[in-house]
Structure 1
């Protein structure tokens, strides 16, 4: 075992305890997914379908009665290819976006938010839908009413497209309140778990923590940040700083949990003294730091363009975005290959060496594999997406990671026997220190007695010498006086 004195609750579980824990874990996640899919639909949508009668299509839409609970306005467009061959054509889209807080039929009194023309390359296979393009993304709803006008021109000589589909999205007000409610439920559970974790480890030196306990103590703080207690300020304020904080909290949590998986799977194969910083931690820090910083750069890049130009499209209007995205995915693939390699090596070492960490490894791997598969399927596909499909997807994502971290924080709590052993060892150590201090005091007292005796002897001898000298000095004078008297 990594440390003889530190035992966690999971170390004392038999198979029955493990199965109870695992099925409780699955039951809570399934319950969260079920509650999520009974929630409100995430978005309200307005779809307009137009035919390309000529080479140009004009689309107009007015959306009224919005407020900050609707969060944002998002418009995309796609076309259909009715030909028997594939198409790759340029389409010119003139965009006009107006806003007003008072309903008024006179558009000249509305505030102009955007007015420009963009060229988009549309690709489609034969007899299928074409690629979808972002037309408008307004991250802050400064107005109650919006009017959008699109003029779409097929720039090819021959009209290739049959229909155009324009979709206007904004978040449902009930969904915003739904998300706010569950975020604060998770925040409350997170704070309670932190309280019990801190209370259980008080008095235990940090150096005797296992690698899992050290990581959980960090992840439970990152989880609180990911749940984001300041999330309402994103809706209520128009500050880009709070949006940056949200991206910082989200990326910190996910990079932290990826580091936890890699370090724990790879670390349970080694003893504590074998996990040096240079060979064990430094390569992992380099790879994860590159992923972390690249994601933050991409997010800030997107945020700046969203604020400056609501008509932007990431892939086309931000130079170098695709290259940076490919760079990010390359390092993420490196991480995936690394964790697969570490898992294979860990299974081999645990099986052949019959290490005492086997129970901890199998427990951790079983629970983590469930979360890992879920995160790849659900979170990986929507991590940088503006749109989440349903309330079920939101709640299942938050449920699985909150339940994962909170239940692991319970499983990795020090056992009661560990607390007693640590108290006994610290008590014995204090007694030994007191005995040593008493011995030192006694030795010091003996030395002082010997020194005082030596000083007394020296003083007495000096007094004797002084008396003898006085007698000698007095004896001649006395003899002289006697002679005179005679």
Structure 2
């Protein structure tokens, strides 16, 4: 009974410094009587795909800069104390989105150095972890009008920082080794990263459980309160769309490879085709553009009105929570006004 072996990368070059290369492959420790056939393949990047990627990255970069400027301009006439939790986070997310689209990405093709590639991975991981922190903060913070940094943000930042650190270590180590050694193979050397990989999965599972707990608790406490349920439903619907589409694309891309040991480092590798690249980048960018549009205040929004957020979506900000729940002095008596 024949059995197909997994793919094994024998040699890779990030840059071609010569016009011709000659390879000599010698197979040791292989029983020729039990080996039916060996197939070698040479893969290269299509120049048209490179041009396509650069063009759309530039389009997304310009679009994210414009969206950041427009949203910031729309919020200037309101005091930052009157901004809702979501509006404050939108400024941070839009700034990180600009760097997620990586204005330094062309250096990857212009310099024979691993730094631009590592920087691209760091910027992508930073944005995605900031997005994870945003989801935790929104579902927890929407139930509170007092959000002190140490008790509210520090545990969340610590949890997400672990994901950020381990994702950077797992992806950057591969990039550095590939630039240093053309014969480096992650499948063979993955054992040294086993601890990092296991911790990454454990922290990821803990994050999912914590987020589900906050979502269930938020809906349980605020689903019958006006305005708050709108904010919860809108945030949840958009989040579920992003997560479900991301899981679908990832599953189609890796298939059964999701359970393999090199799955986490592969997430930071280059996209295999233009569909994968455009799907991921369009999803993230459109998600942020949609939220920026929704959370932007309407043109006729009055600064001194009762609800100083976007009136078209009836979303209350932090100062409005004092009206609904009472002042900070009365925070222990959380009785909504009907």
Task: Check whether TM > 0.5.
Answer: yes
Does residue 286 of structure 1 match 2:158?
yes
The Cα of 1:379 is off from its aligned counterpart by 4.8
Alignment-derived partner of residue 412 in structure 1: 295
The Cα of 1:376 is off from its aligned counterpart by 2.8
Alignment-derived partner of residue 25 in structure 1: none
Distance 1:389 1:297 in 2: 22
Alignment-derived partner of residue 139 in structure 1: 14
Distance 2:83 2:160 in 1: 23
Larger radius of gyration: 1
The Cα of 1:261 is off from its aligned counterpart by 1.7
The Cα of 1:387 is off from its aligned counterpart by 4.8
Q: For this pair of structures, how many residues does the alignment match?
A: 294
| TM-score between both structures, scaled by the size of structure 1 | 0.57
Distance 1:160 1:338 in 2: 51
Distance 1:303 1:265 in 2: 36
Distance 1:147 1:330 in 2: 45
Alignment-derived partner of residue 144 in structure 2: 271
Structure 1: stretches of 5+ with no match in the other structure: 1-82, 84-126, 426-486
Does residue 327 of structure 1 match 2:199?
yes
Query: What secondary structure is seen at the aligned counterpart in 2 of 1:163?
Result: coil
Alignment-derived partner of residue 230 in structure 1: 104
The Cα of 1:383 is off from its aligned counterpart by 6.5
Structure number with higher strand proportion: 1
Alignment-derived partner of residue 175 in structure 1: 49
Does residue 360 of structure 1 match 2:231?
yes
Cα deviation, 1:373-412, whole Å, max 9, x if unaligned, reads 1223335857632353321111011111100001111100
| TM-score between both structures, scaled by the size of structure 2 | 0.80
The Cα of 1:253 is off from its aligned counterpart by 0.9
The Cα of 1:281 is off from its aligned counterpart by 1.6
Does residue 342 of structure 1 match 2:214?
yes
Structure 2: stretches of 5+ with no match in the other structure: 255-262, 309-338
Distance 2:148 2:246 in 1: 30
Q: Judging changes above 3 Å, is the alpha-carbon distance between structure 1 residues 419 and 235 closer, same or farther for their aligned structure 2 residues?
A: farther
The Cα of 1:301 is off from its aligned counterpart by 1.7
1:394 to 277, 289, 293: 277
The Cα of 1:419 is off from its aligned counterpart by 4.3
Distance 2:302 2:38 in 1: 68
Distance 2:289 2:250 in 1: 19
The Cα of 1:160 is off from its aligned counterpart by 2.8
Alignment root-mean-square deviation, CA: 2.2
Cα deviation, 1:69-116, whole Å, max 9, x if unaligned, reads xxxxxxxxxxxxxx2xxxxxxxxxxxxxxxxxxxxxxxxxxxxxxxxx
Alignment-derived partner of residue 39 in structure 2: 165
